[in-house]
Amino acid sequence: MTDIAARIAGEQGTYVDIGSLRSRSENAGVSDRRPITVPADRYISADFAARENVLMWPKVWQLATTLDSVPNPGDFVEFTVGRLSAIVLRDQSGTLRAFQNVCLHRGIELCHGSGEGLTELRCQYHRWCWNLDGVLKEIPSRRDFGVVNNDDYGLRALAIDTWGPLVFVNFDAEAMPLADYLGGAPADAAHQDLDDFRCRFQVTVAVPANWKTTADGFSETLHVQGLHPELLQIYDDLDSDQVAWDHAARSRQPYGRPSPRIRPTPSDQDVWNAYAAVFSSRVGLDPADPGEVPPIGEGQSLMSVMADQLRAARAAQGIDLDRFTDEQLMTLDQYNIFPNITVLVFPDLLSVLRSRPGDSPDECFLDAFQFDRVNPGDTSERTKPLSVDVPLGEASFGVVLDQDFALLRHAQRGLHQPGFTRLTLAQEEIRVVNTHRNLERYLGIEPSEIEGDHPFA
């Protein structure tokens, strides 16, 4: 195990229940905790980005692709993050493998994009060639190179593993196991049966913001009251409990009841209308005319009526959700995996967001993976997902994501203002704090530059 992997592994075990740190009351009085602040230049500094490129990105587990993108022997996907490039493929025995995307002769990349039918990895420049297991197969004009030992010239393997339909890689082949890196997240999400999701499409958008600016927007719900007010009709943002496990964290977000922030309390019809507006295609309701709220029977709640509507809509599509409780169906579990991955999962729907650094600290790429559930035991052949690049603003990603995207440019520009030197974070934004805590661990920032009272101090 490398030095940094050993050091990080030695610090495992942090578990923080963040839910107890929040107050339902906006008038609960002034806390005596010191505000949490972090340096703003982490989002705009080329020097800081360079340190991330050297010390962090090659050492962390990253979402590279999905199982649906490489279902068969010979399938491959190129994965890039910053200047790093990897090949993820299935060899001819069906084993999932990942290698650094580089020919060991003169350093040219071996693969681009994605494809199928590979039987070997041959460099287009001088035709050096490897088997799909990474073993050197051929060097044209070999005797001109002198004594070349095949064992010394195998492709450089990456660590590779999966969580549900997600394929992760780590450029540090001696990194801690993915299961340890994810902490308690897999067990926490076990009831969601992630193995039963199939990727339908992947969309990539170039965003004029730092990768952390983008990831931070999916690491807290404090902004819902400002940016997504329509959600307050159906989402209790003050009772979303949070936990953190070293590299991962989770927010559990209950839908089907309004936020206590709203006064007067919305009627059941108002909540039903908002449910249709936000989740129309998912629940089979017309947002323009959702109809009257169904009768709420004895022992039922509005949440359970909404859950029944969802079960019926999915059953009409052939998806059986009867094994999930009303509360499970109406709860969004949001997992943040350091450094740049957000997993958003309802029992019937999985979305994954990944932000990757761009050419400057003010640019990144946001990748959105959308999955559909299949029934347990489904043995149908996996279909490769559609993968497209879409210019920002030229396609809708739904009302909530569209609102997030529209704000990012302004969020990044604001970070450059000379009078703004530190972000001030609430306890609810502790998942953002966890990102910075982990950044400091990988970049070797000691003592910590995170100021104030927080659970990780």
SS3 label, residue 58: helix
DSSP structural state of residue 267: P
| Domain annotation covers residue 332 | yes
Q: Are residues 80 and 97 in the same domain?
A: yes
The predicted pLDDT at position 120 comes to: 96
Q: Are residues 108 and 190 in the same domain?
A: no
Q: Are residues 447 and 341 in the same domain?
A: yes
DSSP structural state of residue 451: B
Q: What's the pLDDT band for 248 if we cut at 50, 70, 90? A: very high
| Domain annotation covers residue 7 | no
**Overall number of domains in the chain:** 3
pLDDT, tens digit, for every residue of 367-385?
999 999 999 989 888 999 9
Cα 40 to chain center, whole Å? 23
| Domain annotation covers residue 402 | yes
| Domain annotation covers residue 370 | yes
- Containing domain of residue 273, as a range? 268-323
Instruction: Give the C-alpha separation, 450 to 457, whole Å.
Output: 9
Instruction: Find out whether 116 and 102 touch, Cβ atoms under 8 Å.
Output: no
- For helices 399-414 and 268-283, angle between their N-to-C axes, nearest 10 degrees: 90
Q: Are residues 374 and 297 in the same domain?
A: no
| Domain annotation covers residue 375 | yes
Strands of 114-115's sheet in order across: 96-100, 84-90, 76-81, 114-115
The predicted pLDDT at position 308 comes to: 94
Q: Are residues 272 and 405 in the same domain?
A: no
How far apart, in Å, are the Cα atoms of 130 and each of 53, 57, 93, 103, 188?
A: 28, 26, 15, 9, 41
| Domain annotation covers residue 234 | yes
Q: What's the pLDDT band for 2 if we cut at 50, 70, 90? A: low
Instruction: Give the C-alpha separation, 311 to 303, whole Å.
Output: 12
pLDDT, tens digit, for every residue of 334-353?
999 999 999 999 999 999 99
- The answer to which of 192-201, 256-265, 314-323 has the lowest mean pLDDT is 256-265
Q: Are residues 77 and 168 in the same domain?
A: yes
Instruction: Give the C-alpha separation, 297 to 397, whole Å.
Output: 36
pLDDT, tens digit, for every residue of 266-295?
899 999 999 898 888 889 999 899 999 999
| Domain annotation covers residue 70 | yes
SS3 label, residue 413: helix
Is the pLDDT at 355 greater than 50? The verdict is: yes
CATH number of 222's domain: 3.90.380.10
Name the residue type at position 335: Y
Q: Are residues 352 and 444 in the same domain?
A: yes
Tokens of 75: 């399938």
H or E element that contains 170: strand 166-170
DSSP structural state of residue 415: T
Q: Are residues 275 and 405 in the same domain?
A: no
Return the closest-CA partner of residue 218 out of 349, 348, 354, 82. Answer: 354
Last residue of a domain, which of 136, 154, 181? 181
The predicted pLDDT at position 456 comes to: 80
Q: Are residues 21 and 95 in the same domain?
A: no
SS3 label, residue 41: helix
Instruction: Find out whether 341 and 66 touch, Cβ atoms under 8 Å.
Output: no
Of the ranges 8-12, 176-180, 254-258, which is most confident?
Answer: 176-180
- Residue 391 CB-density burial (10 A; 0-12 exposed, 13-18 middle, 19+ buried): exposed
| Domain annotation covers residue 4 | no
Segment 155-169 shows an average pLDDT of: 98
Q: Are residues 365 and 401 in the same domain?
A: yes
- The answer to which of 79-83, 227-231, 305-309 has the lowest mean pLDDT is 227-231
pTM of the model: 0.92
What's the CA dihedral at 372, 373, 379, 385 to 10 degrees?
Answer: 10
- Which residues lie below 8 Å from residue 315, measured CB to CB, with a gap of 6+? 321
Instruction: Find out whether 99 and 107 touch, Cβ atoms under 8 Å.
Output: no
Instruction: Give the C-alpha separation, 406 to 412, whole Å.
Output: 12
Q: Are residues 254 and 131 in the same domain?
A: no
CATH number of 139's domain: 2.102.10.10
Percent of the chain at pLDDT > 90 equals 69
At residue 133's C-alpha, the angle toward residues 130 and 135, to 5°, is 45
Q: Are residues 49 and 100 in the same domain?
A: no
